[in-house]
Amino acid sequence: MRIRETAWTPAERTEPDVDLDDRVRALADLLRGRRAVVLTGAGISTPSGIPDYRGPDSPARTPMTYQQFVGDPGFRRHYWARNHLGWRHMEAVRPNDAHVTLARWERRGLVTGVITQNVDLLHLKAGSRTVVDLHGTYAVVACLDCGARQSRWALHEELERLNPGFAERVATRGAIEVAPDADAVLADTADFRPAVCPACGGVLKPDIVYFGENVPSARVAAANALVDSADVLLVVGSSLTVRSGYRFARRAATTGTPVAVVNRGRTRAHDEAALTLDGDCVEVLAACDRLL
């Protein structure tokens, strides 16, 4: 599966549903006594302090593509300089009540698993057990040449050795904005020294699926299996702009599995969904949990 930009873009944010309470009750009725698989996007993590790419109030962002990363040493240097700062912010972020609610629903048997487009590990931190990290996570780094893998903590120590005082120098220039993929927004990275693979000297890349890169087939198969075995697909906090996530909503809808969407603003799956709720993920899931 290849991640790519598509022609579809979210519509202007609509006004919150005037009948949101009724829709929350309908969501509780839909979930009660059924097995739901949950598909989450950046919107579920914004209450934890991680910005999203396409929310109604988000600034315009252009994530790095796979082709840029592998084809240009300057892009890689720029990325690793920014990631050297941004990943620590990601590591420190804690799950919010929406993540915790989904983990509790899994323990109760209401949820069979979570497919997430996020790389922040917040579902795991919240206690979810069956999680398909569709786009990978920030916590692992892989060599593009020999395939060797290492933890992001281990790479951090090497980047600190290669770039002593870098974080402190950047901090003196003002606040640092962090993007959803553990990337900090910096302008000047010319003096940063990236690390190479300790095993072969090759190119290191985060275990994150970039735009233009294939999602590993094993992850797609695991996600498809969850969707096929579920009675309901619940989408939480995703506009489903990228096809790698939208395809699961399509798969559910075309096989007769009802799709419910909780998101601020319209999504790509609105026309196929059995139920849509325009609202805050934390508030909607909490209200639904009280009814369940």
The residue type of 165 is G
Contact between 61 and 15 (Cβ < 8 Å): no
What residue type is 205 in one-letter code?
Answer: K
Alpha-carbon distance of 8 to 210, in angstroms, equals: 19
Q: How many angstroms separate the CA atoms of 150 and 276, rounded?
A: 41
Q: How far apart are CA 244 and CA 1, in angstroms?
A: 7
> Which H/E stretch holds residue 136?
strand 136-143
Catalytic residue among 78, 84, 135, 270: 135
CB 278 within 8 A of CB 20: yes
* Residue closest to 62 by CA, chosen among 188, 185, 176, 216: 185
89 is catalytic: no
CA 186 – CA 224 distance, rounded (Å): 38
Q: Annotated active-site positions, please?
A: 135
